[in-house]
Amino acid sequence: MLVAANPSLRQWWLLYVVAVASFVPTFGYYLVGEEGILVNSSLEMWQRGDWLRLWFYGGDARHGVFANWLIIPLASALGWEYAPGVVRAVMVGATAISGLFVAGLAYRLYRDAVLAALAGVIYVTFADVLLYRGWLGYRDPLVGMLVFGAIASLWMAVHTQRAIWLTATLVFATCAFLTKGIIAYVFVGAAVLVFLCQREARAFLLRPAPLVLAVLTLCLPYVWFHWMIGDQAQGGRMATEIGDKLVPLGVGPYLWKLAAYPFETVVRTAPVSVLVLWWLWRGKLAKALLMDRRVTTALAMAGIAFLPFWLAPQSHFRYLLPILPLLALVFAVCVSRLGDTAARVTWRWLWVAVGLKLMIVVALFPYYQHRVRGENYAQVARQVLQRTAGFALYTHDVSAAGLSVTAYMNIQRLPKPVLTFAPAQWDNGFAVSNRADEKLGKVAEQYPLGANVLYLHCRGAACESADPR
């Protein structure tokens, strides 16, 4: 779609709507990666009637539950057979809201409706967001939306000098903590640190009302651990997860990670990141941007938050999702300052990205799931249930493929309870695992799952049962 002049406000919002609508076909996909975690845990929490603990395979996984709080009512209302689509719908909704948040922040900071729409479009068309991360049923899109909501609310509080905005920061930060743990405060803390380095913002944030709200925000994790669930072990598990990422994998892999991570960031935020870098290299835009305090504030927040994930021996780009709206804001300002030609080029490239996405979600990925992996998870689930009919069944498979198969078995078994780890003592029945394990019993069947194999073990009379096939 070509335009002769600078794209209008309506045209930018049309592109935003089409980009978000391109996520809808993913609702019908088979499970991907570790999406089974949210499906299995949500179903188990619903069956147990316990919404405060993340129940998984019969035990307390000691993790955040806010995503499950959104999934459970929708899945129970629509039917748990639609749980995979519900999980993705929640994450797509979070992605769309993140785009609206950055558009709203951009408008309040610049009073430019076109720039605001452009910022929203850029966020939802980042390659990683548009093609994969924005719809995948992991917690990351929701965490990104909540953390950025907290940062945007903090910025609005400073911008308007109204402490009421910090109430939204408290709510968003708390929900982000309840989604994925204490790491949410790293991003919000980076934003606070940047504002504390600005004289006017510092004078506002050190007033009594902002300080009281800041203390309340920091106290809520303590309230959750000690009063709501009465278990400090969850905090320890979260700390352990962070510590595990700091374990080096060797000098060579670490140096490679240091070199590749910034490049990966550019690729995953394409196509706009590539365009902006090209224009910065060709022109004098950098000096003008550095004169814009709003741009330097956004870059400082993103840079401080980026640094620990870059330097950590182990980290994934998906952890950076909360700062991508800040990059979208900066890129939108860059395009806006460069004028009509840059806007037209950006417009065309973003339509190319959305067109490519539509080809992938409508044709290529469904074909992949049919021929390679995805559909086979549901098929193997049916085969295992047929083979084990009439006997106890347990699961010990925590691999990505095993999580998906278990999720489909849990759904197909309803209204029976979800599958759990086998008890310490059991004499008769079946257990699935991603490897042959003599401790689980004799291997009764093997089910290929692409590059993986699901092993069905048996004990007692179950081993003598005939295969219904």
Tell me the two tokens of residue 320: 């950076």
Q: Where are the alpha helices (DSSP H) in 414-459?
A: none
Could you tell me the pLDDT band of residue 181, with boundaries at 50, 70 and 90?
confident
Residue indicated by tokens 């049923």: 137
Identify whether the C-beta of residue 421 lies closer than 8 Å to the C-beta of residue 395. yes
Please tell me the distance from the alpha carbon of residue 103 to that of residue 113, in angstroms, as a whole number.
8
Q: What is the pLDDT of residue 419?
A: 96
* SS3 call for 252: helix
Please tell me the distance from the alpha carbon of residue 302 to that of residue 122, in angstroms, as a whole number.
16
State pLDDT tens for residues 94-120.
Answer: 999 999 999 999 999 999 999 999 999
Write out the H or E segment, with its range, that includes residue 211: helix 208-223
Mean of pLDDT values over 163-174: 95
Query: Cα dihedral angle (12, 18, 21, 22), rounded to 10 degrees?
Result: -120
Identify whether the C-beta of residue 319 lies closer than 8 Å to the C-beta of residue 147. no
* SS3 call for 43: helix
Please tell me the distance from the alpha carbon of residue 421 to that of residue 419, in angstroms, as a whole number.
7
Give, in order, the Cα–Cα distances in Å from 193 to each of 151, 301, 404.
Answer: 12, 8, 41
End-to-end distance of the chain based on CA atoms, in angstroms?
54
Share of the chain above pLDDT 90, in %: 77
Q: Which residue has the higher pLDDT, 280 or 233?
A: 280
Please tell me the distance from the alpha carbon of residue 111 to that of residue 10, in angstroms, as a whole number.
16
Q: What is the pLDDT of residue 213?
A: 92
Q: Which residue has the higher pLDDT, 451 or 33?
A: 33
Tell me the two tokens of residue 293: 């305090």
Identify whether the C-beta of residue 134 lies closer than 8 Å to the C-beta of residue 308. no
Q: Which residue has the higher pLDDT, 316 or 297?
A: 297
Query: Cα dihedral angle (50, 56, 58, 63), rounded to 10 degrees?
Result: -70
Domain ranges of the chain: 9-30+62-365, 375-464
Q: What is the pLDDT of residue 247?
A: 65
Share of the chain above pLDDT 70, in %: 93
Residue 157 clears pLDDT 80, i.e. is over it? yes
Average pLDDT along the chain: 91
Mean of pLDDT values over 421-426: 91
Could you tell me the pLDDT band of residue 1, with boundaries at 50, 70 and 90?
very low
Q: Which residue has the higher pLDDT, 62 or 172?
A: 172
Mean of pLDDT values over 283-311: 89
State pLDDT tens for residues 247-290.
Answer: 667 788 889 889 999 999 999 999 999 999 999 888 767 777 88
DSSP 362: I
State pLDDT tens for residues 355-400.
Answer: 999 999 999 999 999 999 999 999 999 999 999 998 999 999 999 9
Mean of pLDDT values over 339-346: 91
Mean of pLDDT values over 330-346: 93
Question: Can you name the residues that pair with 442 across neighbouring β-strands?
Answer: 458
Q: What is the pTM of this model?
A: 0.92
Residue 3 clears pLDDT 70, i.e. is over it? no
Please tell me the distance from the alpha carbon of residue 3 to that of residue 145, in angstroms, as a whole number.
32
Identify whether the C-beta of residue 369 lies closer than 8 Å to the C-beta of residue 375. yes
Q: How many residues are listed for the chain in this entry?
A: 469
Identify whether the C-beta of residue 241 lies closer than 8 Å to the C-beta of residue 181. yes
Residue 240 clears pLDDT 70, i.e. is over it? no
C-alpha count within 13 angstroms, C-beta hemisphere, residue 7: 29
According to DSSP, the β-strands at 393-395 and 429-433 are parallel
